[in-house]
Chains A and B, each alone.
Chain A
Amino acid sequence: MSRSGRSVQRAALTATLVAGALALAGCSSPGSSTPEESETPDASAPSESATPDCGTEPVTLKAYFETGFPLPSELAAEFEKQYPNVSFDIREDQFAVLTQSAPRVLVDDPPDLMRLPQMSELAKDGLLLNLDPYAEAFGWDEWPASQLEQMRVDENGRRGDGPLYAMGLNFSMTGVFYNKELAAQIGMTEPPKTVAELDGYMQAAKDAGLTPLAQFNGGATGGLAFPLQALMASYGDTSEINDWIYQAPGATIVTESNIAATEHLQRWVEAGYFADDVNSMDYAMMMSRFIEGDSVFIFNGDWESGNLDNQMAGNVGFFLMPPLEEGGSFGAMSAPLTYGISAYAANPDCAAFFLNWVATDETARTIAVEVGGSHPMGLADAYMPPIAEGSVTAETLAAGAAIGEQDGAMDFIANATGTVYAEGWTPNLQKLVAGEIDPVSLLEAVQAEYEREVG
């Protein structure tokens, strides 16, 4: 056989193999056989006769929770105790895994209850059950509207309005935790009332040889978004920030007040208020440094209240980011711990009943506060468990009430789109720390990434 003949034969063999592989791949366009077309999911409608519940027959609720957070499992255990016919089949994964597998799991192995990542795409794609009928049946529509706002998604995937697609187990809130002993060292006897006072305390800490702020900002976690958004709320209007997060038409993050806030953050960086290794510090490292007394302040959320009360009992305090001028406006990130029901779930009624129970049962509310550290969902005057005086949990709950009065609750700027955190905020905040980008370019880069997805 000649050399060329051999190569012809080889080419023919390759072609056959590739063709075979293509045939196996199925040349129809990908995604053309999702269940949406083959079977229409049972449209939410709970049984008309009475409010939905778990019945008396044995029910197994398939649940998909986030690893490392004991709250949902403890609630599930208590629920099993109160309703013996219900048992939970719980699977857990890290949040990153939840994020990447959410669409597949919701279709292929539909859970009755699932901890949700950023949910606008999931709702838009019809993977989540519309909870409006349940909201009506259980009277969730009488709760403060702001509690549910973030979990409403319209047909374009915009949040803030439209049908309800998820429910919270509680809602968390962010602000500044401080180490009381170190604070006393720098002469801080009570929380700062203005941003300038906070600046002063940071400088005092720096002058005393302490690390003012060991804030996580390494790897894929741009934790400087916490202080940045807090500053944005002090400099500007929280509703504008919310509009941007909810993808209101024409919304932009590049506003005068946001630029001023970013410049303020840059001054903190330049003054050396942050630990020098923030760009390689992850969340766990931040927590261990703060607990060990290696940082005076950290920007974080009340989901750590219970943990900090245990680990630094009596030595930890909390305050909301103060306004620019005393008595001025301020805000805090506040978001429900979202759980959804798959559009293909087997026991949606029972799952919805569980979610309602979490918000209304006294034992469940106690667990939500004591284990979760955050405020339970539900009516403003609903039962609250007694909290130890002086604990940081008591402080964060009180701060939550203050934010409620101010109407200062914002969603997290990282939640505006599915990728704006990883592709927009994180790399650019890391650049800000390294002095590689100025405040305006930072916001413009984030806006460009945002528009790439919002279109």
Chain B
Amino acid sequence: MPQRQTGPTSGLREVMSPAPGSPESRRRARRARRLRRDGLAWLLVAPAGIAYVLFVLRPMAQSVQFSFYDWDGVTQSTWVGLDNYVQVFQNSELYGSIVNAFELIVYFSIIPVALGLFTANTIRSFATSRLALVSRTVLFLPQIIPLVAAGIMWTWLYASNGTVNQVLRIIGLDRVTRAWLGDFGSALPAVGVIGAWVHFGLCMLLLLAGMTKIDPALYEAARIDGAGPVREFFAITLPSLRQEISVCITVTVIAALASFDIIYISTQGGPGNQTLVPGLAIYRLAFFSREVGLASALAVVLMVLVLGVVLPLQRLNREGDS
């Protein structure tokens, strides 16, 4: 970090500063040039900057503003202060949705990363073969399928006479069969598995890419020292992948906390709010109950939670680097 104290522009400025002329005129010339260059920089940044302010910061600020009002989205609103936030934490349904989202992290993050590590490590061992290419492609496919399509497909698989139950019946596990998405115990895990299936491909590919960067000499040295594959994995592969793992976890944790599509398609929060997540609750509050204020408050809480989980992850990653 400290190296960055003199930014690239200031370095450039010193190299290019003119030799002749009085100190005064030199200073003026420098300022003019800086102004011109800064002006150009601002001009280049402006389109993106304006779009960012208009379409990202403004809606965000509006959400924060709305969260202090009782508003149905159409008629005059009334200021209610922090009431909406109090409701978010008092309403068992709403904080229940937050708890569900955290439970989903297990399925959306931990399982894909763990499985991704294992699979990537396996594929690496035959990295150059055609089989590696095929398995990489097949495993990555779920990532390019729209989430809505994935949701629909899995509701069919999970149906009471769907593939999942058919397979269970074939192997004699009739007693385990159930309407997976309609059962109070299994609905959330079932939805979680859909998420794991979707995110697994991304994690696997990222980790595999990371593994190709690792110097083969390290493995050779380890092998000479008598390390087995397990030792190799934990002593070399895992530490070298810290950055990739942190990216995977960040992306998938956000996907878990802010999940919406898969659940909207497969269970719509049911049965009995077992799979209700904040994203869906916000949507329902804003568009069906028309409680825009409460929906905004929940959205702000969700944003703070996501930041609260993701920022420490980033810091951990950065500290590891230095």
Contact = CB atoms under 8 A, between A and B. Distances in A.
Interface of A: 1, 3, 6, 17-18, 20-22, 24-25, 27, 29-32, 34, 36, 99-101, 103-104, 107, 121, 125, 127, 218-220, 275-281, 418-419, 422-423, 426-428, 430-431, 433-434, 436, 453
Contact of B75 (A125, A281, A418, A423): A125
A17 B53 contact: yes
Contacts of B287: 99-101
A103 B286 CA distance: 12
Nearest to A32: B76
Contact of A17 (B57, B66, B74, B290): B57
Contact of A30 (B5, B58, B60, B69): B69
B272 A431 contact: yes
15 contacts: A1-B5, A17-B57, A20-B57, A21-B60, A29-B76, A30-B62, A30-B292, A31-B71, A31-B76, A107-B74, A220-B269, A277-B159, A280-B155, A280-B158, A280-B180
A24 B53 contact: yes
Contact residues on B (Cβ < 8 Å of other chain), bracket = 35 or more
A34 B74 CA distance: 7
Interface string B172-211: 0000001111111000000000000000000000000000
B311 to A, nearest CB: 15
Given A18-B57, A21-B57, A280 B181 contact: yes
B13 to A, nearest CB: 14
Contacts of A279: 179, 182-184, 270-271
B83 interface: no
B73 interface: yes
Q: Is the interface of A mostly helix, strand, loop or mixed?
A: helix
Contacts of B309: none
B93 interface: yes
Contacts of A18: 57, 61
B58 A427 contact: no
Given A21-B53, A21-B58, A34-B76, A219 B66 contact: no
Interface in B47-81: 53-54, 57-58, 60-62, 65-66, 69, 71-79
B243 interface: no
B270 A219 contact: yes
B77 A422 contact: no
B288 A22 contact: no
B77 A32 contact: yes
B182 A30 contact: no
A31 B58 contact: no
A24 B73 contact: no
A23 to B, nearest CB: 9
A427 B271 contact: yes
A108 to B, nearest CB: 10
Contacts of A125: 72, 74-75
Interface in B74-94: 74-79, 93
Given A107-B74, A418-B289, 12 more contacts: A20-B57, A31-B73, A99-B287, A100-B288, A121-B72, A218-B182, A218-B270, A219-B267, A280-B179, A423-B289, A430-B271, A436-B272
B179 A276 contact: yes
Contacts of B159: 277, 280
Contacts of B179: 276-277, 279-281
Interface of B: 2, 5, 53-54, 57-58, 60-62, 65-66, 69, 71-79, 93, 155, 158-160, 178-184, 267-273, 284, 287-290, 292
B75 A36 contact: yes
A430 B61 contact: no
A379 to B, nearest CB: 37
Contacts of A275: 160
Contacts of A419: 288-289
Nearest to B57: A21
With a 10 A CB-CB cut-off, give which of A125, A279, A281, A433 has the most chain B CB atoms: A279
A212 to B, nearest CB: 16
Best-buried of B58, B71, B178 by chain A (most CB within 10 Å): B58
Nearest to B184: A434
B6 to A, nearest CB: 8
A63 to B, nearest CB: 21
Contact of B61 (A22, A219, A428): A22
Contacts of A281: 179, 182
Contacts of B160: 275-277, 280
Nearest to A279: B182
A219 B179 CA distance: 12
Nearest to A107: B74
Contact of B288 (A6, A218, A276, A418): A418
B290 A27 contact: no
A21 B61 contact: yes
Q: 8 nearest interchain CB pairs? A: A280-B182, A277-B179, A279-B182, A100-B287, A430-B271, A21-B57, A219-B268, A277-B160
Nearest to B165: A277
B53 A434 contact: no
Contact of B65 (A30, A101, A430): A30
A397 to B, nearest CB: 33
